[in-house]
Amino acid sequence: MPPALATPLEYITVLFHPWVALGVLLLIVWLMSRMALLSWADLSYVLPVTSVGYVLVAIAGKVLLNEQITMKRWSGIGLIVAGVALVSGGSAPQTAHPRPEAAGPGQ
C-alpha cells in the first residue's frame, strides 16, 4: 500500500510527476474541446457524440491491454453506437447563431 500524503504540500508536489501532469493536461484539453463543442451545437447532439469515448476506451482496452469484454458490455457499446446514430439522423440543430442586426435609422 502506498504511503498516505500527510501535508497539503505533498498533494501539490504529486501534480508535478510527469504522468500526473500529463493526465491533468489531457483533462484540460478534453474540457476545452467539450466547451467548444457545446458552443457550436446543442447538448442533445454533443453528449451522445462525446459518449463515443466509451467505445474507444473499450476497444483500446481490448487491443492494447488484452482485456476480456463480456457480451453484456459489447451490447452496451452497441447501444451507445445506436444512440449516436439515432441522434445524428434526427432533426436539425435548434441552436440559432445570432444574426447581426440591420443598421437602423441614424446609424
Q: Taking the domains of the chain in order of start, what are their residue ranges?
A: 8-40, 42-88
Could you tell me if 55 and 80 are in contact, meaning their C-beta atoms sit under 8 angstroms apart? yes
Residues 6+ apart with CB under 8 A from 38: 46
Instruction: Name which of 28, 84, 100 is nearest 36 in CA terms.
Output: 28
Q: What is the pLDDT, as a whole number, of residue 22? A: 93
- Give the SS3 label for residue 19: helix
Question: Measured between alpha carbons, how far is 68 from 65 in angstroms, rounded to an integer?
Answer: 9
| Residue pLDDT, tens place only, 2-59 | 667 778 888 888 888 899 999 999 999 989 988 888 888 877 777 777 777 888 889 9
- Asked if residue 42 lies in contact with residue 93, where contact means CB atoms within 8 angstroms, the answer is yes
Entry pTM = 0.53
3-state secondary structure of 75: helix
